[in-house]
Structure 1
Amino acid sequence: MRLTREKSLMLIVDLQAALLPVIENGDQAVTEAAWLGGLAESLDVPVWVTEQYPQGLGGSEPWLLEALPGHRLWQKVHFGAHEEPAFAAALAESGKRQVVLCGTEAHICVMQTGLGLLEAGYEVFWLVEATASRRAAEARLARERMVQAGAVAVSADMVAYEWLHRCDDERFKQAHRRFLKGRSPRPLRF
């Protein structure tokens, strides 16, 4: 199954500032999510961001939100975002059937969100380098479980070039100048 920007939505789960300091590779997850999210917005692919109980865990990493000015923010109490009725209804209404999924923690909220999306009939693409947990072993195990359940493991570059689809149009040229040429992720330190 191939990704298309017309069918896609990017979902960034719980990259919250108070949680990130204890997440192994959390800086990489934020950097990759912001990079691909920025490209998504430039290609008119919706970017949705969730926050798990922000009253207790704080809000999303500010740098991520600044990098994604067109994001839609969802607050949730269920670990799986699709369990939230308003979220599920809005996703169904969007007409998007392909969800590029990333965030923290891979083995809890990201995985439960992904399983719920698969159960509801969506195609789920697990963005490997932007999905993390406190322990890398749990992130790997979550990815394995999701792939066994029917998700597809992808890299940010895979997604980017599938969305761009061809090199001879203006969108590719703009994206190449802004996002692809000389790509060097901005390192974050929590």
Structure 2
Amino acid sequence: MDRDQVLPRSPELMGPHDTALLVIDVQQRLLPAIPNRETLVWNIRRLIDAAKILNVAVAATEQYPKGLGATAAPLAERLGPRLEKLMFSCRECSALLDDWRRAGIHRILLCGIETHVCVQQTALDLLGLGFRVYVAADAVGSRYEADYRTALRRMELCGAVLTTAESAMFEWCVRAGTPEFREISRLAKESPPSEIA
């Protein structure tokens, strides 16, 4: 197909330059209570790796790290300094949000824990601030299934877009046939960890 004839991309799709990844409170003392935590961390790690490959902005928060500990090691080693907060919502990190807005970022993909507390409150506040919000449903978690499911439903009803880690990676990538695509494909072909009950 002639590239001059390619139709414009849907405004519903995330792009690598207009989107940021926000990793919310994936902390050592919170994780043990989260079902499927190994898969959750694996999906978040793949999102972080994909974001770095495709130059997508990434930031992470920690809720009261003095009490809840630092970010889980497999993620912390890939992230820069994490923003500390006491509010459940990441709207407390206003300097980061202002920086992203100035950089032309108007879409934010959320991942982390817990779905019904910090992730949900952040999503609703970001929507109120005019951001387009996406939630990687396989990269967020809660202690209880009812809280997880209800939070996803509420966020979606309020305007957040539900997606998955793999879908987001390929959405950021846009096209095949590039070195970046090969790296994203490698991430997509990884096998998920085996969960031990």
Task: Normalising by structure 2, report the TM-score.
Answer: 0.87
Higher deviation after alignment, 166-175 or 86-95: 86-95
Aligned pairs (5 A) from 1:7-46: 7-46=18-57
Aligned pairs (5 A) from 1:20-169: 20-66=31-77, 68-69=78-79, 71-169=80-178
* Runs (5+) with no aligned partner, structure 1: none
Amino acid corresponding to residue 91 of structure 1 in structure 2:
W
Provide the residue aligned with 1:185 in structure 2: 192
Q: Is the 8 A contact 1:114 1:124 kept in 2?
A: yes
SS at match of 2:15: coil
Q: 1:187, CA displacement in angstroms?
A: 4.8
Q: 1:25, CA displacement in angstroms?
A: 2.3
SS at match of 2:82: strand
Q: Is the 8 A contact 2:83 2:93 kept in 1?
A: no
Q: In the aligned structure 2, how far is the partner of 1:41 from the partner of 1:131?
A: 20
How many positions carry a matched residue from both structures? 186
SS at match of 2:28: coil
Q: Is the 8 A contact 1:17 1:60 kept in 2?
A: yes
Amino acid corresponding to residue 157 of structure 1 in structure 2:
E
Q: In the aligned structure 1, how far is the partner of 2:190 from the partner of 2:34?
A: 24
SS at match of 1:121: coil
Runs of 4+ with deviation above 4 angstroms: 187-190
Q: In the aligned structure 2, how far is the partner of 1:175 from the partner of 1:6?
A: 16
Q: 1:175 aligns with which of 151, 173, 184?
A: 184
Q: 1:72, CA displacement in angstroms?
A: 4.8
Task: Normalising by structure 1, report the TM-score.
Answer: 0.90
Q: 1:2, CA displacement in angstroms?
A: 0.7
Amino acid corresponding to residue 86 of structure 2 in structure 1:
V
Q: Which of 1 and 2 has greater Rg? A: 2
* Runs (5+) with no aligned partner, structure 2: 1-11
Amino acid corresponding to residue 107 of structure 1 in structure 2:
H
